[in-house]
Each structure stands twice: as C-alpha cells, then as structure tokens.
Chains A and B, each alone.
Chain A
Amino acid sequence: MIRVERLVKHYQVHARAPGIRAAVRSLFKRERKTVAAVDGIDFSIAAGERVGFLGPNGAGKTTTLKVLAGLLHPTSGEVEVAGFRPARREPDFLRSIMLVTGQKQQLLWDLPPSDTFELNRAIYDVPRARFQEALDELIALLDLSPLVGKPTRQLSMGERMRCELAAALLHRPGVLFLDEPTIGLDVTAQSAVRRFIRSYNERHGATILLTSHDMNDVAALCPRVIVIDHGRLIHDGPLPELVRRLRPEKRVVLALSRPVSRADLETLGIVHAHEEGRAILQVEPGKLTSVVSAALERLPVSDLAVEDPPLEDVLADLFARAAPGAAAAT
C-alpha cells in the first residue's frame, strides 16, 4: 500500500546571523544552507497495517508524511501510495488518502461541523446514500450527536478533534496519515480518539501511519514502529522487539503495606524508585522469577506487577545511541 525507497528531502533555507549588521548584509548577499530533513529512508507498509512513525522533534516525521500525502516533492527517491505517485496529486489519489494533523484543522470555524461534513461530501463527490451511512457510523463511533449542530468555535479541543476525524473520514480513505492526533487533548478525549482510530482500521481495513510524541498512542495503536532520527531510519519492526532489543530488563512494581529500607530492596535488584508504600525494581529477565519469589517472601508486599520499561525511556535510549552528525548541513 505504501512503498518508500531511498527517499531524500532536502530544504534550502536562508542562514543569517543575529543582529542588525547581519540583517543589512543579508539584503545584498543571502547565504543558503541545505538541511537534510529526510536522508535516504526505505520502508513499505502493507494494506491494513497500523504503524507508528516515531522520532524526536526535527527528525523528519512530518516531512515524510507530507511527501506521502503529496504536499512535498521528494528531492530524490521513489514513493508510491495506494498505487499512485503522491507528488502528482491526482484527484483519485487525493480521494484515497487523508492527512489529519492535530494542530491544523479543516473544520469551518464559524459554522457547525455538519456544514463541513456536507462540504466534504460535495468536494469528495461521495454519493448521498454512502455519505449518510458513513456519517451515521462516525456519529455513533465518535459520539457526535450533540456536537454536529454547534458552531465549531464553541466546541472544546477534544470535541473538535472528534469532529475533525469525522470530516476527514467521511469519504472513507484507505490510507490515513495521522500527525499528532491526540496533541493537547485530555486523557478521556485521547482514549476516545485511540479507540476510534483502531475501530476505523478494523472496520475498513485502512492503512494507518501515525506520528505521536505520546507513547500511549503508539502502545495502544501500533504493533509496528518505524523510528527515524536526523532524517535516517534507525528501527523498523514490531514494538515489543524494539523494547526487548534496547531495554530487555523488566520492572517489578511493588505496593508495600509498611515501609522497607532501600538496602532491603537493593538485595533484589536495581532500585528504580522508592517511596513510602511503593518501590520499583529493575531486574534482568533471567532473574525475574527468583526476584518475584524473594520479594513475596521477604517484603510486606500487598500487590505486585511486572512491566516493560516505559516506551519513552526506550526511545530516549534509541535516540542517544543513534549516530550524531547525521544531519547534513552544508
């Protein structure tokens, strides 16, 4: 469904030192530098996959999504989405994809979302019966009944995002690019958006490529992750494999019925956190069973859980290991 080969996207940007002299000098001589936003990445995504596209700020995630959506021309490389070359922006291609960004909205600000829905029906040329069917489904899944008649400006951020998703999906695109879809939303709204994305993927077999800094989004939605840093691909594979490869240790979370000393905890493993009534131990996977047995035997444990390290920590490790100086700036 999505094929990316040796994708490169370089930008030319003006470079100017701060200060009035540099400003005046730049009137006569402008210096340019090349920024390698994406620097030769390859991946492919099969129809119906949900893939997380991760990386630190400036890694090239949004640039890649824009190339895939046809908003940017690649500097070089091959890109194919749903059988089309995105840069040509053919109408049938635009009908088969959608890019939803958490920070830029398409809803008409002063009109109710129902007007945007109707406008999109006309623009995407969706037959009336199919539109009604899609709209009914989206209203039910996203609980939009009380919202569709209110002016968009009166909706909360979470309500707007739900309406935004509905407007984006009325024409049932087969490929969905989501750029930070839960940014700025409260926990309840985030959870509703995640549930909906998963449900849309399962019902319609849509291919989903999602960027997010919220690892809960990724953990909840993406069995596979592609990680880029400085425009280069540094991991492509299942999420658990990434965690196992980088941080194989487990975390034993203990709820304690009375205080225990740090020394007692250190006999079992590395103490990651220790506070009254709660401790987290970092344990090698091979020693997990013995540590759990010992903890239950020696400590006043009222509850115990075994977890993977947080995904944020795993990615921080990954970015720290990635070779520095990969960003080309000439």
Chain B
Amino acid sequence: MSTARHVARALPTMLRVSFAEMLAYRAELLVWMLAYTMPLIMLALWTAVARDAPVGNFDQRGFQAYFMVTLVVRFCTSAWVVWEMNFEVRQGTLQRRLLRPIHPMIAYACEQAAALPLRVVLMVPIVVATLLWLGPSILTRDPVQVALVLPTILGAWCLMFLTNALIGTLSLWWESSISVFEVWMGLYFVFSGYVIPLSLFPDWLNSALDWLPFRYMLSSPVENLLGLCSRQESLRAAGVQWLIALLLAVALWRGWARGVKRFQAFGG
C-alpha cells in the first residue's frame, strides 16, 4: 500500500478530529489570544515615537497598519508543537504515536493545522476593525502581491511549525528542549519584525537576516500584505521562504529519524 495514498485518505479525518479537539479548548484559545497582544503594545509605543516625525519610512498610520497586520499574521502562524513533544517525551506518551502506522510529524502537523480555521474566524473582527479604522488602502493592490498573501502566510506557518518541531526533536536526546525554544523565541521576537519593523535595522543586519528564517516567519508576509516592498522583493522573499521551509523539512525528517533511534536505544 502506498504510504502517500494512506496519508491522503487519513488526512481529512485527522484534521476533522483535531478540529473537534480544538473546539473543546475554545475558551482557553480566547484567553490565549491575550498572549498575542505584544503588537498592540508596540503599536502604541511606536505611534507615540512617530508623533512628531516619521521613523524611517513609517509614519503613525504606517506603524498602526504594520502592527495590526503583524498581530493577525502572528496569530494565524503560531505553533506550539515543541511543548507537546517535550510533554510527551517526559511523560512517556510519545509511544502512543510511535505505535501508529502514520508518521508522528504528520499527526502533529494535522493537530496544529486544525487550529487555523478557528484562529482565522477569531481574527475576522480584528481585520474588520483595522480596515474600518485605517481604510483598505493600507493593503497592497498589486495583483502579484495579493496572490502571494496566502502562500507567504502558509509558508510562515510552515516555518513556525518546522522550527518548533526541530527544537522539539532535541527532547529525544535531552528530555527537555524548552530552554532552547525560549532562546529561539527571544531571537524570533527581535529579528522577525514582531517588535520592530526590520527596515529600521541597519543595512548590514538586514542583509544577514535575509539568510535566516526569522524574517520569513513574520515580517515578509506582513510587508507583502502591506505592499511595503516591491513585487520583485515579495517574489524573492516567497521563494527564499519556501526554500528554507524545504531545508528545515529535510532536517526535521532526518533529525527525527535519528532522535527516535536514540530514543529507542535509551528507553521511552
């Protein structure tokens, strides 16, 4: 039997059951939204800073548009699989996944992706409020950039999931990789454009960030959506984003296989 066909047949049910599980935690999800208010704080801060004069190429309205869109993209692209993996390794419940004839990463991805529809629904009021407040002119009208909106947001979600899962895989060696994840998230907050638009960084740092995943996890979908970059820059960023995602997927596949071998050797 082809593994790919088996996975394709199983996916709709896995997504549906994961979505049902997510609905069971809807109250928790609403509270969890509060953890994503950092862009609103940054919005207030940078709007105050830009009161007298623009900062870089951002005036007050520019910062407002940037951080409202950042809030939406961040909420739609978050992943938390590293916590699940660490918990399951420590509790010994990872064996449940290892006993199933479907790759655990596919199961994890389904569980995380199942949260997306609910998150999108929860974001609708924020998107509507933003458009009423700042007007639809804040968004790009370039057809290529419009066409890139969904692929770049999906690409950002893939990067978030893959980096989470890669760090989670370290728990197969160390039992806990949460501290590594916290360091990673610290870098992410600074270098993804979450607290400061990347164009405000010096050129040399921006050049370095072009070759790291952080930009493509948040900033580049936001810049594309707002038309803050040219069509060519959007296309290039989308290409690099998916290339990094592919490299991370290969690294995860190999890392997971090695980690499970190690886990099988030392006990679960």
Contacts and interface: CB of A to CB of B under 8 A. Distances in A.
A115 B17 contact: yes
Interface string A95-109: 101110000101010
A110 B25 contact: yes
A125 interface: yes
B87 to A, nearest CB: 13
Nearest to A116: B17
Contact of B95 (A71, A97, A115, A119): A71
Contacts of A87: 264
Contact of A71 (B9, B14, B24, B98): B98
Interface string A78-104: 000000000101011011011100001
Name, among A66, A104, A116, A125, the residue most crowded by chain B CB atoms within 10 Å (CB to CB). A125
A11 interface: yes
Contact of A125 (B9, B21, B98, B99): B9
A122 interface: yes
Q: How large is the interface on A (under 10, 10 to 19, 20 to 34, 35 or more residues)?
A: 20 to 34
Interface in B84-102: 92-93, 95-96, 98-102
A214 interface: no
B259 interface: no
Contacts, number: 83
Given A11-B267, A123-B101, A106 B13 contact: no
Contacts of A89: 98
A42 B60 CA distance: 76
Given A111-B24, A124-B101, A125-B10, A71 B268 contact: yes
A299 to B, nearest CB: 55
Contact of B101 (A94, A106, A110): A94
Contacts of A278: none
A89 B94 CA distance: 14
A205 B92 CA distance: 30
Pick the 8 closest A-B CB pairs, nearest first: A122-B13, A110-B24, A91-B101, A94-B101, A122-B10, A73-B264, A119-B17, A106-B96
